[in-house]
């Protein structure tokens, strides 16, 4: 059970003006990984920019029907939440928050909202998660289970409750 303080969250579609912010969110998610390489700050920044651009292009190319949203709290951008809605499944393409906004129930709140959508539409909710991602435990707590893997990623899925079976 998660208790979330009053959170005023909004989602709004990304624009090209958001790209510097989205790069900042991406870079924040890779800090620990890059702390282990002996590169200069300029080399790290060049790498992060290149990787962000490649990821952004990939998402825009292969998830054409997805909603790409900036997460805002009280009008301040704090993260990103990318979701693609397919016929029988809702795929969380990416969810990431700036470090100052993690571990406050915000990610849990977003995930609970998407699970509620999955329950209402009778769709599985899925996400690829790196095996070493600190949020992996959160997904497990919220009922996501491993259903596959590809390299360093596990495919996790949450299944809606069949209301007919739940009453039996």
Residue 2 in tokens: 């998660």
**Structural domain includes residue 109:** yes
CATH number, domain of 127, equals 3.40.630.30
pLDDT tens readout for residues 7-50: 689 999 999 999 999 999 999 999 988 999 999 999 999 999 99
* Burial per residue of 101-129, b for 16 or more beta-carbon CB atoms within 10 angstroms, e otherwise: bbeeebbbbbbeebbeebeeeebebbbbb
> How many domains, in total, are found in the chain?
1
Which 3 state secondary structure label does DSSP give 3?
Answer: coil
**Structural domain includes residue 2:** no
**Structural domain includes residue 155:** yes
Which 3 state secondary structure label does DSSP give 92?
Answer: strand
Average pLDDT over residues 87-93: 97
**Structural domain includes residue 67:** yes
Residue closest to 114 by CA, chosen among 127, 104, 101: 127
Position 5 scores a pLDDT of: 54
Domain hosting 146: range is 9-167
**Structural domain includes residue 3:** no
Residue closest to 101 by CA, chosen among 140, 70, 139: 70
DSSP β-ladder status, 153-158 and 145-150: antiparallel
**Structural domain includes residue 29:** yes
CA-to-CA separations, 161 to 1, 84, 118, in angstroms, rounded = 17, 21, 10
pLDDT tens readout for residues 126-168: 999 999 888 999 999 999 999 999 999 999 999 998 855 544 4
What pTM does this model have? 0.91
**Structural domain includes residue 85:** yes
């Amino acid at each position: 059970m998660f208790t979330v303080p009053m959170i005023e969250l909004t989602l709004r579609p990304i624009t090209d003006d958001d790209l510097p912010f989205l790069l900042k969110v991406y870079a924040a998610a890779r800090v620990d990984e890059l702390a282990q390489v002996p590169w200069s700050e300029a080399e790290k920044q060049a790498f992060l920019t290149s990787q962000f651009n490649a990821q952004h292009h990939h998402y825009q190319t292969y998830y054409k029907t997805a909603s790409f949203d900036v997460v805002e709290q009280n009008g301040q951008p704090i993260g990103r939440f990318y979701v693609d809605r397919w016929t029988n499944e809702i795929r969380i393409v990416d969810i990431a928050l700036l470090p100052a906004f993690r571990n406050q129930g915000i990610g849990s709140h977003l995930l609970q909202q998407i699970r509620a959508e999955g329950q209402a539409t009778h769709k599985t909710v899925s996400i690829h998660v790196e095996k070493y991602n600190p949020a992996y435990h959160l997904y497990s707590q919220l009922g996501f289970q491993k259903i596959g893997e590809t390299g360093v990623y596990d495919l996790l899925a949450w299944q809606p409750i069949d209301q007919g079976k739940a009453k039996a």
